[in-house]
């Protein structure tokens, strides 16, 4: 499966209006597009940053939806009074112990490795990181997105609530510290979000 992620840098005053638009207009419009499996939305109210991610059955349907998705993005940025950046990914790993609910806490980690090491990163994530992440208190699910051509990757791990996410910071940091040495990856950024929409609907891949 594949994914398109739209990162929106919004004016904080227009966050609620924008979230309502995404939930009421963007999500049902995407659902009607051929090959769209689902959508999720992360929100950082302090920074005014939102990440809307749609999942697609294959790369062909992802590419075929570009024009329609761009129109949705353009309209959403108007409502958010925002700028937006679109990235495309392969969904490489998914584990879901419990379905995440709205207002769950989600920690996102952006990584970069040598493109030749992408497969090693995926294997390490599946075999070593996921079992350790699943032992963190309040764990719900985790997803790894990769761009094999650039060596970029994004890991997200969701927790039952923000308190569980905050309590897990040191534990997850230790997990990543061991893993990045093994695969030769660099952590570019770590950020925490509230889960506003939880319907990505990607099947488990571990």
Compute the average pLDDT of residues 6-29. 95
Q: What is the pLDDT of residue 200?
A: 87
Alpha carbons 54 and 36: distance in angstroms, whole number: 7
pLDDT interval class at 171 (50, 70, 90): very high
Q: What is the pLDDT of residue 179?
A: 86
Q: What is the pLDDT of residue 3?
A: 98
Residue 170: pLDDT over 90: yes
**Percent of the chain, pLDDT > 70?**
99
pLDDT interval class at 126 (50, 70, 90): very high
Could you give phi then psi for residue 94, rounded to 5 degrees?
-145, 130
H helical segments located in 81-204: 118-124, 130-134, 162-167, 169-183
**Is the separation of the CB atoms in 48 and 19 below 8 Å?**
no
Q: Which residues pair with 49 in a beta bridge?
A: 9, 44
Q: What is the pLDDT of residue 184?
A: 86
Q: Which residues pair with 205 in a beta bridge?
A: 94
Of residues 147, 122, 143, the one with CA closest to residue 200? 143
The percent helix, strand, coil of the chain (3-state, each to 5) is: 40, 40, 20
pLDDT interval class at 203 (50, 70, 90): confident
Determine if residue 81 is left, alpha or beta; phi over 0 gives left, psi from -120 to 50 gives alpha, anything else beta.
left
Compute the average pLDDT of residues 108-118. 95
Alpha carbons 186 and 150: distance in angstroms, whole number: 13
Q: What is the pLDDT of residue 100?
A: 66
Alpha carbons 15 and 165: distance in angstroms, whole number: 22
Alpha carbons 89 and 153: distance in angstroms, whole number: 8
Spell out the domains of the chain, with CATH numbers in brackets.
Answer: 1-89 (3.30.70.100), 97-196 (3.30.70.100)
Residue 189: pLDDT over 70: yes
Its pTM stands at 0.94
3-class secondary structure, 168: coil
Mean pLDDT across the chain:
94
Residue 181: pLDDT over 70: yes
Residue 77: pLDDT over 70: yes
């Amino acid at each position: 499966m594949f994914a398109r992620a739209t990162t929106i840098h919004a004016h904080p005053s227009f966050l609620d209006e924008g979230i309502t638009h995404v939930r009421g207009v963007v999500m049902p419009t995407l659902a009607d597009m051929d090959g769209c499996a689902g959508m999720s939305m992360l929100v950082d109210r302090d920074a005014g940053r939102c990440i809307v991610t749609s999942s697609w059955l294959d790369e062909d349907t992802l590419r075929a939806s570009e024009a329609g998705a761009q129109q949705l993005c353009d309209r959403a940025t108007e409502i958010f009074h925002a700028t937006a950046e679109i990235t495309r990914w392969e969904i490489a790993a998914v584990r879901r112990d419990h379905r995440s609910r709205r207002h769950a806490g989600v920690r996102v980690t952006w990584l970069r490795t040598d493109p030749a090491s992408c497969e090693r990163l995926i294997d390490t994530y599946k075999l070593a990181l996921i079992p350790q992440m699943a032992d963190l208190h309040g764990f719900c699910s985790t997803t790894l997105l990769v761009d094999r051509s650039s060596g970029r990757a994004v890991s997200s791990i969701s927790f039952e609530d923000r308190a569980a996410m905050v309590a897990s910071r040191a534990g997850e940091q230790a997990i990543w510290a061991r893993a990045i040495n093994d695969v030769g990856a660099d952590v570019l950024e770590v950020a925490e979000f509230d889960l506003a929409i939880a319907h990505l609907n990607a099947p488990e891949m571990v």
